[in-house]
Structure 1
Amino acid sequence: MAGDVRAGRDFTTRVLDEWGRPGGEALRADMLLVVSELLSNALVHADGPVELTLLRDGPIARVEVFDTGDGRPEPRNPTDAAHPGGRGLHIVGRLSADWGVVGHDRGKTVWAELDLPA
């Protein structure tokens, strides 16, 4: 599990370097955290991530994690003692301009979009 998240973070760092490091260290930190949370969710709550995609469209960076699980992620109450954790999607929501889920016949893609500075 940790290896998949680490590989995703390494990939994200390389892509941001190729993009010329828009937003500097602040955006890099936010992107790495969003990638980590989405990959971790796919590993814990689905059948593991199948594909991580990073896209840039003008002022938007989009993170997509495809997995073959059939569940639909929803933010949980992070203060619920009966179910530890539950902060991942709240973190994604705070760091991204928008996020969502697209279902497919073989699974789903969970995506998040972050604003790139002008």
Structure 2
Amino acid sequence: MKNPNLIPPHPISHDGARGACWDLPAAPETVGRARRLAREALTAWGLSTLTEDVTMAISEVVTNAVVHAKSPVTLSLFRYGRSVRGEVTDHSTVWPAPLQADPDEEHGRGLAIVTAYTDRWGVDPAPEGKTVWFICTEREPS
């Protein structure tokens, strides 16, 4: 059965972008499902080399949305050539803030991980909450 929330990876604009979007529940299993959906989209787009970076960022951003916003999320991925923009929209107006985590603390490293695995990230207001976005770009082989 096809996922009714999946927008097939076909051109969605005139600038060469391709996209996919999924509405996901506020549940712990959403994080694993979001990673799986991202892997499938990246494979379909021929961008498997970005899988680790994109799925690490998605893990952290979706986890934050599920834990802190406690609302359903919309995961969107857009391909621009050899780059991918990921977006996670939730219904909370509280923006994420990087924390300083002590070495023995269990939490507080999520946005540091997002920073480490992405080229850049940010937060934009959404009509009913916010969108946390990130960009990952395929690197030239060394």
Q: Which residue of 1 aligns with 2:42?
A: 16
Q: TM-score, normalised by structure 1?
A: 0.87
Deviation string for 1:51-106 (max 9, x for gaps)? 0001111232111000001101011111187x741100000011111100001230
Aligned to 2:91: 68
TM-score norm. by structure 2 comes to 0.73
Name 1:28's counterpart in structure 2.
51
Aligned to 1:43: 66
What count of residue pairs does the alignment treat as equivalent?
Answer: 114
**Identity, % of aligned pairs?**
35
Q: Is 1:104 paired with 2:130?
A: no
Q: Which amino acid aligns with 1:8?
A: A
By how many angstroms is 1:28 displaced? 1.1
Residues 1:100 and 1:28: Cα distance change in structure 2 (over 3 Å): same
Native 8 Å contact 1:63 1:111 kept in 2 = yes
Flag as ranges the 4+ runs of structure 1 deviating above 3 A.
Answer: none
Q: Which protein shows a greater Rg?
A: 2
Deviation (angstroms), 1:108: 0.4
The answer as to 2:31 corresponding to 1:5 is yes
Say if 1:64 and 1:111, in contact at 8 Å, map to a contact too.
Answer: yes
Gaps of 5+ in 2: 1-26
AA matched with 1:53: S
Alignment partners' CA distance in 1, 2:103 and 2:63: 19
The letter for the 2-side match of 1:20 is G
Unaligned 5+ runs, structure 1: none
- Using the TM superposition, give the Cα deviation of residue 117 of structure 1 relative to its aligned residue in structure 2, in angstroms: 3.2
Deviations 1:24-59 (A, max 9, x none): xxx211111111101000011113342000111123
CA–CA distance in structure 1, aligned partners of residues 116 and 32 of structure 2: 22
What's the RMSD between the two structures over aligned residues? 1.8
